[in-house]
Chain A
Amino acid sequence: QVQLQESGPGLVKPSETLSLTCPVSGYSISSGYFWGWIRQPPGKGLEWIGSIYQSGSTYYSSSLKSRVTISVDTSKNQFSLKLTSVTAADTAFYYCARQRGHQLVDYWGQGILVTVSS
């Protein structure tokens, strides 16, 4: 069974960088699939942030592209998200996930609430 678990600070100050990591168990990232990040502001809908393939190729939402970096560490079987220059509008539950291409998400982490506040 594929399991993902987001980790990182739950509180980030405005203008700083949000950093999250997602260790994966039950499946080797090197074996394939895309690995993505999705966020959900409290009480609102889902927004795809971006994804990375095992090769390191990255794909980002056009609305966040200038501030997002997704990376992968196959030796630790985990991938990471960095979002720079955060504002209150970036407050959300952040989910890491396994994607089948960019067609669907078949496994989700439990989500982590990141609040942007001074």
Chain B
Amino acid sequence: QSALIQPPSASGSPGQSVTISCTGTSSDVGGYNYVSWYQQHPGKAPKLIIFEVNKWPSGVPDRFSGSKSGNTASLTVSGLRAEDEADYYCSSYGGSNNLVFGGGTKLTVL
């Protein structure tokens, strides 16, 4: 099972919006609505921020939103804040009881 493809970096200024992509195949991202996104600050464990493509866990602000088209999922962070600077990872159900992650994107708030 190959890792999902994410851009290594993304950036935006405070208040702007930024979108991070996550590309897989029809065997994972494209085949199921089980894409999740995680935020990881340095030295911390990842935190779930989006699940099932576009749903929010309790306590996650709606500035974070998810979508999917074909084999590519996307995370959009609106109204960027300094505290959004972190690494972001996507994951997807990969079929056959597998969970596959993306390589991660470092988001910089300029």
Bound together, the chains give a CA A99 to CA B46 distance in angstroms of 13
B65: chain A residues within 8 A (beta carbon):
none
Q: Which residue of A lies closest to B91 (CB)?
A: A104
Residue interface mask A30-51, B partner, CB < 8 A = 1: 0000001010000011111001
Interface size class of A (residues with CB under 8 A): 20 to 34
Contact B34 A46 (CB under 8 A): no
Known A46-B89, A62-B1, A109-B45; contact A103-B101, beta-carbon cutoff 8 A: no
Partner of B99, one of A45, A48, A95, A108: A48
Q: Which residue of B lies closest to A106 (CB)?
A: B48
Interface size class of B (residues with CB under 8 A): 20 to 34
Known A104-B91, A108-B45, A111-B45; contact A48-B104, beta-carbon cutoff 8 A: no
Partner of B46, one of A46, A59, A103: A46
Known A45-B89, A104-B51, A110-B45; contact A61-B3, beta-carbon cutoff 8 A: no
B residues sitting closer than 8 Å to A (CB atoms) are 1, 3, 32, 34, 36, 38, 44-48, 51-52, 57, 89, 91, 93-94, 97-104
